[in-house]
Amino acid sequence: MSPVVRNPLMTAVAVVLLAILAYPVGGQYLTSLVLIIGSILVYLVLALTLRSQAAADFYVAGRSIPAVVNGAATAADWMSAASFLSMAGIIAFLGFDALPYVIGWTLGYTLMAFTIAPFVRKSGTYTVPELIERLAGNWSTARVIAVLMVFITSLTYLTAQLVGVGVVFSRFLGIPATIAVFVGVFGALAYAWTSGWRSITWVQFVQYWVLISMYLLPVLIASASLGLLPIPHLQYGPLLTQVEAREAAAGVSPLWTEPLARPFAGGTGMLNWILAALVLMLGTMGLPHILVRFYTVTNVHAARLSVGWALLFIGLLYTTASIYAAIARLSISNLWNKPLDEVMNTTWIQKWLPTGLVKVTDANGDGIVQPAELSFHNDIVVVGMPDMFGRLWLISPLVAVGGLAAALSTADGLLLAMSTAISRDIYKRFINPQASEAGEVGFVRAMLVVIGLIGGYLGYLAIKDPGFSRYVALLVGWAFVFAASTFTPAIMLGIFWKRLNRYGIVAGMIVGMAVALPYVLAVGIFNTQPLVLFGQKIGTIAWGAVSFLANALTAIVVSLLTPPEGKEREAFVDHMRMPD
């Protein structure tokens, strides 16, 4: 048996045995702790088995990853804490109005398969900033600007992942989520440190199967209790009718299933809804840590094929999120109009109250819990589902293992995208072009630690201040706004319009970010009133359509007003377009 299989498998067996032995000694807490920390240890052993000092392994996994492996790794890289922890929760909170997340994030992959993925692989570059420099006629300024955009986009995304890790650890380690964030940072750094994208790709491949198994487990158990088997995806419709009836009886308005009835990322109405879905679609095509995945496969055909596999693997989770939402909504509505003492003595409420992620009040002092007096953090819907149904306690830590896999897999991808950008696109390109492979890899590792601590601090702020982070999915949505405002138009125009030049690319990215970032900060964090367009408020995510257009139009106009690039840039684009 290969060490790549044997070593993590033996570690997993040891963790399971240790968890069994831990139960008589420390009960549920110690067993949960062993399972959660043990899962990180399994990933670390796999990463150490694959360790390498080669720069090509750190940057592009030696361009050796099979399509199906890259598809599963991409799905794990993609299905972050936002997908695993927040997607079901946000649907449970917003109902129909949360669908832009599902629509945008899945259709974005379909477009990526045809418009970006094969060309990125054919470019032969190592990082997104390097690709931008080549598209800009080898102008180094474009590369520096691209590195800055990578950081703004990826740090926003990383903050969301670490918030998700904090939610998981706070529940099962019994520590505040603000401290648990830094535990997550060290967990992510542990195996990103070993050999960059080579080890992370195979770790993410394993993490996908862990997270999807643990995601399906609670919903299948809950579906069995509610008589929704064998295919809950086709049989949960009656739950919606029950929820609607309970909401109507309790005077809840608008009803959960009513379309276009709630604000989405600060905006309202159909226009905001459509633009938000479009922005999430466009942002998918420009995320740096996802684009890097297409550098790791063996050839152009494998790049396109891996997108197809990723879409299949991602769809398995997204088609399940709405079932979670309906079941959670039903479970929570069971507690409405119940005596306060009865609600406070409910087992799952007692488990989650100390985390601060569930709150029960009696604002009017009548001793009865009204719908508005029972609030929950959206990110507990998945992790808390087993508790809501009083299932075997072991299910909850297993779900936490899946949630941790989702958050850490994406966090690692983001950490590597930023650290390799600093190493290859700044350090190697400008500061020390003669750096040895060992020196280059050492610099990447140092940057991993620095960026990880910065991300941990931002995650700490996000959890500490409710005004800064209402839910993980919104933070992730902002990362898509930044990607759609910078990289997506630059790469698409660069591939399909030969007249685009260096000045157009740089001006477009700067203008796109200048339009996007202030609006997100003002409306999303400082609670400024959103702009009104055609009588509808435009939220922070929908605003990305405006910044995307600002980038594209600026790039086109500036390129037409300045001299075209030479034959070298044209030859590079022709090479990217040429089939294998």
pLDDT of residue 545: 96
Could you tell me if 63 and 35 lie in one domain? no
Q: Do residue 38 and residue 163 come from a single domain?
A: no
520 backbone dihedrals φ, ψ, rounded to 5°: -60, -45
What pLDDT score does 49 carry? 86
Query: What per-residue confidence (pLDDT) applies to 580?
Result: 64
Residue 470 binned pLDDT confidence (cut-offs 50, 70, 90) = low
* DSSP letter, residue 430: I
Write the pLDDT tens digit of every residue in 251-306.
777 777 777 767 666 677 889 899 999 999 999 999 998 888 888 888 888 888 89
Task: Band the pLDDT of 454: cuts 50, 70, 90.
Answer: very high
What pLDDT, on the 0 to 100 scale, is given for residue 141? 95
Rounded to whole angstroms, the Cα distance separating 25 from 176 reads: 24
The stretches of 472-535 forming alpha helices (DSSP H) are: 472-496, 502-519
Among 70-79, 213-222, 248-257, the range scoring the smallest mean pLDDT is: 248-257
By residue range, what is the domain housing residue 20?
1-49
469 band by pLDDT with thresholds 50, 70 and 90: very low
Residue type, 478: W
The span from the CA of 380 to the CA of 73, in Å, is 25
Q: Rounded distance, CA 143 to CA 421, Å?
A: 9
Residue 368 — very low, low, confident or very high, per pLDDT cuts 50/70/90?
A: confident
- What pLDDT is attached to residue 337? 82
Tell me: the pLDDT tens digits for 128-165? 999 999 999 999 999 999 999 999 999 888 887 787 77
For the cut 80, the answer to whether the pLDDT of residue 35 exceeds it is yes
Task: Return the DSSP state at 541.
Answer: T
Q: What is the pLDDT of residue 195?
A: 66
Q: Is residue 244 pLDDT above 70, yes or no? A: yes
Residue 267 vs residues 128, 290, 441: alpha-carbon distances, Å: 32, 28, 44
Is the domain of 37 the same as that of 94?
Answer: no
Poorest-pLDDT segment among 340-349, 355-364, 413-422: 355-364
Max CA-CA distance within the chain?
78
Query: Which band of pLDDT confidence, cut at 50, 70 and 90, is reported for residue 555?
Result: very high
pLDDT > 90 fraction of the chain, expressed in percent and rounded: 25
In the predicted model, what is the mean pLDDT of residues 365-386?
79
- Give CA–CA dist 515/509, Å, rounded: 10
515: confidence class by pLDDT, cuts 50, 70, 90: very high
Mean residue pLDDT across the chain = 85
Which pLDDT belongs to residue 466? Answer: 55
Residue 561: partners with Cβ closer than 8 Å, 6 or more residues away:
none
Q: Are residues 298 and 378 in the same domain?
A: yes
Q: pLDDT-derived band of residue 330, with 50, 70 and 90 as boundaries?
A: confident
Q: Is the pLDDT of residue 166 over 80?
A: no
CA separation for the pair 377, 357 (Å, rounded): 5
Is there a single domain that holds both residue 247 and residue 207? yes
Residues 6 and 69 in one domain: no
Q: How confident is the model at residue 445 (pLDDT cuts 50, 70, 90)?
A: confident
Query: What is the mean pLDDT of the segment spanning 526-532?
Result: 86
Cα–Cα distance measured from residue 306 to residue 561, given in angstroms and rounded to the nearest whole number: 39
455 and 483: one domain? yes
Identify the sign of the CA torsion 500, 504, 509, 514.
negative
9 and 124 in a single domain? The answer is: no
Same domain for 453 and 374?
yes
Whether 44 and 55 map to the same domain: the answer is no
Q: Looking at the structure, tell me whether residues 248 and 397 fall in a common domain.
A: yes
Separation of alpha carbons 46 and 530, rounded Å: 47
Backbone angles phi, psi at 535, to 5 degrees: 80, 5
**What backbone torsions phi and psi does residue 365 show, to the nearest 5 degrees?**
70, 20
Weakest-pLDDT range from 47-56, 207-216, 321-330, 442-451: 47-56
pLDDT of res. 98: 85
Mean pLDDT, residues 404-408 taken together = 80
Q: How many domains does the chain have?
A: 2
CA-to-CA dists, residue 275 to 130, 241, 270, angstroms? 30, 29, 9
pLDDT band at 560 (very low <50, low <70, confident <90, very high): very high
Matching residue, tokens 């929760």:
89
For residue 323, the one-letter residue type is: I
Do 211 and 298 lie in one domain? The reply is yes
> Which stretches of 116-176 are DSSP H helices?
117-123, 128-135, 140-173
* Average pLDDT, integer, range 96-115: 85
CATH number at residue 278: 1.20.1730.10
The residue out of 11, 30, 49 marking a domain boundary is 49
Q: How many CB atoms lie within 10 A of CB 152?
A: 17
Query: Are the C-beta atoms of residues 137 and 566 closer than 8 Å to each other?
Result: yes
pLDDT category at 542 given cuts 50, 70, 90 is: very high
Q: Inform me whether the pLDDT recorded for 532 exceeds 80.
A: yes
